[in-house]
Amino acid sequence: NAGVTQTPKFRVLKTGQSMTLLCAQDMNHEYMYWYRQDPGMGLRLIHYSVGEGTTAKGEVPDGYNVSRLKKQNFLLGLESAAPSQTSVYFCASSDLPGSQVGQPQHFGDGTRLSIL
């Protein structure tokens, strides 16, 4: 029962390097999300997708790109890493929301990313 799997779990980058974080879900969920968590600020939405082939910007999208080529995968890319992107990144997925039915987002275990 894997749920949402994020790789890698830890990564250290130098300023200016690029990398891709991978999120995979096995629950056949339509919706997927990328958040970042910084101390004292809760989780903030970076980008999200409401289906294969679609992406949209969240609250803090600058410096990140995403792709959803397959329904089960949602990739988060950093083209040129900056120290301000040091954070814990969470991927989540959810089923289609009903009008009043709670469809909780299911989270991966997070990726701790440090930019030096």
Binding stretches for another protein (CB under 8 A):
31, 33, 35, 40-45, 48, 50, 56, 58, 88, 90, 92, 94, 96-97, 99-107, 109-110
Question: Do strands 87-94 and 73-78 pair parallel, antiparallel, or not at all (unpaired)?
Answer: unpaired
Question: Do strands 56-57 and 19-25 pair parallel, antiparallel, or not at all (unpaired)?
Answer: unpaired
Q: Is 85 left (phi over 0), alpha (psi -120 to 50) or beta?
A: alpha
Q: How far is the CB of 103 from another protein (least distance, A)?
A: 6
Please, are residues 88 and 36 in contact by the beta-carbon 8 Å criterion? yes
Question: Nearer to another protein by C-beta: 69 or 100?
Answer: 100
Q: How far is the CB of 108 from another protein (least distance, A)?
A: 8
Question: Nearer to another protein by C-beta: 79 or 109?
Answer: 109
Question: Nearer to another protein by C-beta: 50 or 82?
Answer: 50
Is 6 strand, coil or helix? strand
Q: Which two tokens stand for residue 1?
A: 């029962």
Counting runs of H as helices and runs of E as strands, what totals does the chain give? 0, 11
Q: How far is the CB of 101 from another protein (least distance, A)?
A: 7
Q: How far is the CB of 25 from another protein (least distance, A)?
A: 14
Question: Nearer to another protein by C-beta: 3 or 17?
Answer: 3
